[in-house]
Every structure is written in C-alpha cells, then in structure tokens.
Structure 1
Amino acid sequence: MSNYPLAYKLSWLPRLLRPSLAGDRSGFAAPASMLLDPQPTRKVRLAFVGDISAVANRDAPEFDPAITTLLSSADLVIGNGESPIVERARAVMGTRFGTHHAMGEHFLADALAAAGIARDRLVLSLANNHVLDQGIAGFEETLAALNRLGIRTIGTIGGGPVQRHAAGSLTIGFAAFTLWRNTDAAPFEERISMRAAEWPSDAVSGIDLICAVPHWDWEFRHFPRPATRALARRLADRGVRLIAGHHAHVLQPVERIGDSVIAYGLGDFLGTALARQPWPARIGSIFVVDVSADPATRGRIAAYRLHFFARLATNGHERLVPVDALGGALKRRVAARLLAIFPMSGK
C-alpha cells in the first residue's frame, strides 16, 4: 500500500487540525521576494501554483481580479494536479469521505477560466500521491481529459525524467517527481516518476533552465524536514536552478543555494484536504519567477516573488483573495504566520 512511515501516519491528524511551526528554521535567509542584479532587457515569466483539487468546491471558485491579472501575465503556469479527472468516482466511499480525490473535467475547465489561466499555457504535474486514487482506469481517463482540454503534463514515466516545454523564447526542463504514493509500488511506479535527481546528461541538453517540481516533505508543517533540504541541495548540485514544491498543503519558506532558488511549499491553490480547514492551511501562494531571455544571461533567474492569498469558503465553493484584502482578526493572524515563515520579508 502506501509508503508513509508510521511516525508520519500518527502525526497526520494532529497536524491537519493544527499546522505546525516547529522544525529547523535556520538558514532560511531568502525573503519571499527578490530582484536580482543586473536585470535583463528580455524576460520570460513563470507562475507556479500549488495543489489543485475539487475537494473543497462543489462549484468553480471565485478569484479576486488581482489574482487573475497576475496569472494571465505568465508565459507558463505550472501546478500540481492533485485529483484524478473522472466522470464518475470508482472509489465511491473514499471519495465521499475525502480520502480519495476526484475532479470533473468541467470543474477544472471552469476553474481555469475563472482564474484567468489559458489552457495552452498550463502545465500540470501528475507526480503526486493521489494520482491513482481512482485506479488505473481513472489515471487513463485523466490523461484523456487533459489531452481534450489541451493541457500539458509532467511527472509521468512516459514523458521521461526531464520533460521540455516552451515558455516564450525559452525551453524549460521540468523534473517532476513524488516521494509519496497511496497505493502499491508496482502499478504506481510503472506510471509515475518517483526518482529524484536521476537523469542522463542528454536529458537536459539544449534546455535553458532546469526546474524541479517535487511532491515531497510531510504535510501541514511550515518548515521542511532535514531530508527534504538535503534533497534540495542534491538537485541544486545536479544543475536545477528552480524548485517549486508541493504536498505540505501549507506555506513553506524560500531558500537560496548558490544560483538556485527553492520554494519548498506553495500551499494549496484549490483546497485539497477538507471543505473547512484550519486557517493556516487556507493561506496559499503564487510563485512568480522572471527568467532572463537575454543571450548573455539566458535561463538565469532575474526575479522571484511569492504572492500570498487566502481561500475563503463561500456557499459551497472557495473565493481566493490577496491577503492584503483581508480584514480584522484573520488578517492579523495571517500576517503573524507569514512573518514567522518569512522573517526576511518584513510582512
């Protein structure tokens, strides 16, 4: 079955109910935004969003105009497809209780339209623990649905360890993988990448920027485990200059390792755990990265910024608003949590 260690399983429910700020905070000197010098004259914009699921939404979510404007400005949007896309759930009871994920094709299409994300500019990682929640047939149905929608994918064995996608004038190589699975090893590993920092040299030839999209770490913890940070260093040593992580379902900090930028956890983009989650798990981020397209600095990261938002429950669906638009006690709690995670940002 799953490959989660016992200590993780025992801690899952307490951390779900109360996301943790415990852990090693040392070394996270990178702020939530940075403009690097010198700035190029030509740039390509990547926007990374967190986990995407329909668990907390019966209908398509609403998006503040500031969020749709931000997402529509990107040359490429990259997210984690946390739910199989199926017409009918095969794991009926698990889907009803939320342990198994499922998402309708029309829901995804409507959500993307509401978010201002053009389908031909979207890349979804399928390297996550929930991708076989509706069985092998559900996985095949997911691939067919994404093909109909014109959405590109990464993280499958069939696509290879590093999958190339154009972003403006640049070629980005995406190494997407998951450390976790919810099912037996054989059917999962035949379809989904679970290998980290493993690819032949010719897999990255002609690529302007190597970007890792890992499904890693433990859920509902704001600070990554030492093993996760060690893996980030291995990826940086292999030439990965950008890492955008998933799976924690809460925000995690940014770290600079040489020329590499690591955003350990972006939180959820559309809620994936419960329809009503504790407020720290309702803070998400959009990780916007500008990459140089100038000949002399082609593929170098020119700037990055985490744009924070909150997911508010509204009549059976979510409404995403920038944290600056919050008010009252919730705004104060969110500001304090962000300052604890990103002390260099002064936010």
Structure 2
Amino acid sequence: MTTKVTIAAVGDILMWRRQIAAARLGKSDRFSFDGMFRPVAPYLRAADLTIGNLETTLSGREAQYERRNRKTGWPMFNCPDELASALKRAGFDILTTANNHCMDRGEKGLVRTLRVLDRHNLAHTGTFRTQEASRKWLIKQVKGIKFGILAYTYGTNRIPLPKGKPWLVNRIRKPKILRDLKALRPLVDVIIVALHFGQEFKRFPTASQRSLVRTLFAHGADIILGAHPHVLQPMGFRQVSGAPGLKKKFVIYSLGNFISDRMLNRLQSESGAILNLTIEKNARGHVSLAGASYVPTWVHKRVQGGKLRFRVLPIRRYLRNPDAAISKEDRRTMRRVWHNTTRHLKGKAR
C-alpha cells in the first residue's frame, strides 16, 4: 500500500501599513486578518502540511507598526498578534522565521514573535530563543513519513545580533548548513530547506543561488523553498546521482509574495503561488517525490464600506466564478497575472 502526503508552501507573508489598517476593526485596537486569507484557506487546509514564510515580527501593540530604519531607510515590520491566529485558522502548520526582517524589533521582538506562534500552535524554525532551542530539529511526522525542516536567511538588514548570540538567527553559511544536513539526514525521510536569498524583484535566480542549491542537493537536501525576491522565480525537479535522500529533488527559487501591498508599483509583487508537492511512501518503505503543481494567486484590493480591503485570490477559481467585488479591470489583471505566472513557472497550474 502506498502512502501519499501533500505539502503546500507559500512565499512571503508581508504586512504593510495599509494592510494592518485594513484589518483594524472600526476605531478599536482589535484586528481581524481572516478575510485576507478566506478565499485561499481551502487550498491551504487541504494539504497535510502547510508552510509559509512569516516576514514580519509579532512584537506587541504599537501606534506605528511599520517604521523606517534611520540608517538604511528600509522598512521595519511589526504586526498585531491577531495575524497568528488568522494564519492558524487559514491552515498553516509551519512558519519559517529566518528572513531579513526577523530582527526589525531587536532580540525582544524576535523572542516575542516565537512565543506568539507557540501560543497559537504554529511550529517554526529559523530563529530561536535560546542556544538550546537552536540545536533542536523541527521534525514533523505525517502519515508515517518524517519531514525535517530547516530555514536560513542571507542577512538581517544590517541589524546586528547581540554579542555572543549568533544562534538567534540561522544565517546562510554553507559550512553550517552542510553540518545541519549531515546531522538531520539519518533522522528523517525528507529534508525541506527554506532559503531567504536572491535579489529583490529579479525573476531569475543568480549564479550564487544556483550554486548553493546544487551544493545542498548534493549533501542531502530534498526540497528547497526560496523566498525574498518578492516575485516568482522558476521551479523544477532535479536528478542528483549519488546524493543522500530522495533520488528526485525539487527547487523553487522564489515563491514570490503570498500577501503584500504592491511594491515599487510592480504588479508581480502582488502575485504568488501555492506550491503543492506530493510525497509517496510505498509498501517497501521507499519514499519519493511523486509530483508538483501550483495554484497561481493574486492579492486583490477593493474598497468596501469606505475602507480598503485586501484578500489573496486563487486566480483560476475567481476567473471562472467572480464574485460581486471583482470588476472587469480585476478580471483583466487576473488573466494577465495567470499568463505571467504560468509562462514563468511552467509545470501544472490549477
């Protein structure tokens, strides 16, 4: 008898100022993010294991959640805790937290973010509260198949880690990743590595991205999920002879933005994909990567009740059955995004 496990993965979960304002309930200090994810929640819940990249902190209530770094001018993110409960209800099981914004409110914000995720039963990896925690693997067993999940980031937007605490954030350091792969490989059937890397708004991976992926596959990584460019980058299967782990491996260099406001007036920053991977284990205990497909998505904005609203739409479903909030212009945009996404990613789109 063959066991099948489905994995869903999405890219950056960003919360800009206008998105947080859209989630505020009236003039109160309460928020609801559920409506942003309601259209795609059935796709996320349908998977056996759903993973996303949390690219904000949950650092506590503030008058101004989005700030600017005085030295660099780059945004610094924080979001109300209600986001965590909305993500859990939407179907997320695991959130990777190693990214360039994980230190946006310093060590205290990083630690508090993890406490909030724990409170909502959302597993996480990539950042850690203690050195002891950084030495523990995130392993999920689903239908008898063991998955190990690792996450690393290229940097923290020039925000330094406290002295003596390099373990707070997993950085992309090849020797460390290779040590982690070697230690984790005997404990699991499948290793998933989330990499926050690449160049923003570039639709193709750099030579260094490709080189790192080849190295990690050769040392036992099975699935690599890229994020950070804020646009989609190509995906595909790889056959790596003699490598530990699965015979057939898979990479997507960037999953794009799952939810975001438009960035630099680029439509592609509002489009992403829900990646679906099928893992099989046969009667002899052999585990393999059986298939991949994806659901192209688009962040739809509309004014409702005099207020701007955001929601992530599965494009094909809403092209076939648009609701009253979808305008003719929205349909044109969705067709354009569908064309751009499917032409770029190729493969099986749903």
Both proteins in one fold, TM over 0.5: yes
Q: Provide closer, same or farther for how the CA distance between residues 206 and 263 of structure 1 changes in structure 2, counting only shifts above 3 A.
A: same
CA apart distance, 1:257: 1.9
Q: Answer with 1 or 2: which has the greater Rg.
A: 2
1:20-43 Cα deviation digits (max 9, x unpaired)? xxxxxxxxxxxxxxxxxxxx7311
Paired amino acid for 2:115: A
Pick from 99, 108, 117 the counterpart of residue 84 of structure 2: 108
1:188-267, aligned counterparts within 5 Å? Answer: 189-194=166-171, 195-196=173-174, 197-199=177-179, 201-258=182-239, 259-267=248-256
1:30-64 Cα deviation digits (max 9, x unpaired)? xxxxxxxxxx7311111111111322522115367
1:96-245, aligned counterparts within 5 Å? Answer: 99-113=75-89, 115=90, 117=91, 122-156=93-127, 158-160=133-135, 162-187=137-162, 189-194=166-171, 195-196=173-174, 197-199=177-179, 201-245=182-226
8 A contact 1:53–1:103 mirrored in 2? no
Pick from 316, 323, 344 the counterpart of residue 315 of structure 2: 323
Percent of aligned positions that are identical: 24
CA apart distance, 1:304: 1.2
8 A contact 1:233–1:257 mirrored in 2? no
Higher relative contact order (CA 8 A, sep 6+): 1
Corresponding residue number in structure 2 for 1:85: 58
Provide the rounded CA distance (Å) in 1 between the counterparts of 2:136 and 2:267: 36
Provide the rounded CA distance (Å) in 1 between the counterparts of 2:136 and 2:236: 24
Unaligned runs of 5+ in 1: 1-39
Which structure 1 residue ranges, 4+ long, deviate > 6 Å from structure 2?
Answer: 90-93
8 A contact 2:201–2:231 mirrored in 1? yes
1:94-117 Cα deviation digits (max 9, x unpaired)? 26997011111113313442x3x1
1:186-220 Cα deviation digits (max 9, x unpaired)? 43733011134322533322201011111011111
Provide the rounded CA distance (Å) in 2 between the counterparts of 1:202 and 1:85: 31
SS in 1 for 2:40: helix
Provide the rounded CA distance (Å) in 2 between the counterparts of 1:339 and 1:110: 29
Q: Provide closer, same or farther for how the CA distance between residues 160 and 300 of structure 1 changes in structure 2, counting only shifts above 3 A.
A: farther
SS in 2 for 1:217: coil
SS in 1 for 2:205: coil
Per mean C-alpha deviation after superposition, the further-off stretch among 154-163 and 296-305 is 154-163
CA apart distance, 1:282: 0.9
Corresponding residue number in structure 1 for 2:296: 308
Provide the rounded CA distance (Å) in 2 between the counterparts of 1:285 and 1:223: 16
Calculate the TM-score normalised by the size of structure 1: 0.78
Paired amino acid for 1:192: V
Provide the rounded CA distance (Å) in 1 between the counterparts of 2:201 and 2:115: 32
Q: Provide closer, same or farther for how the CA distance between residues 343 and 80 of structure 1 changes in structure 2, counting only shifts above 3 A.
A: closer
Provide the rounded CA distance (Å) in 2 between the counterparts of 1:50 and 1:184: 23
SS in 2 for 1:190: helix
8 A contact 1:222–1:250 mirrored in 2? yes
Paired amino acid for 1:191: L
Paired amino acid for 2:79: M
CA apart distance, 1:79: 1.0
CA apart distance, 1:141: 1.1
Corresponding residue number in structure 2 for 1:284: 272
Corresponding residue number in structure 2 for 1:71: 44
8 A contact 2:66–2:78 mirrored in 1? no
Higher strand share: 2
CA apart distance, 1:162: 5.0
8 A contact 2:293–2:347 mirrored in 1? no
Is 1:57 the counterpart of 2:19? The answer is yes
Corresponding residue number in structure 2 for 1:268: 257
Q: Provide closer, same or farther for how the CA distance between residues 328 and 142 of structure 1 changes in structure 2, counting only shifts above 3 A.
A: closer
Provide the rounded CA distance (Å) in 2 between the counterparts of 1:284 and 1:241: 22
Unaligned runs of 5+ in 2: 24-32, 240-247, 320-329
1:224-277 Cα deviation digits (max 9, x unpaired)? 111101111011101111111111111111122211110111111221675x85
Aligned residues: 302
Paired amino acid for 1:190: W
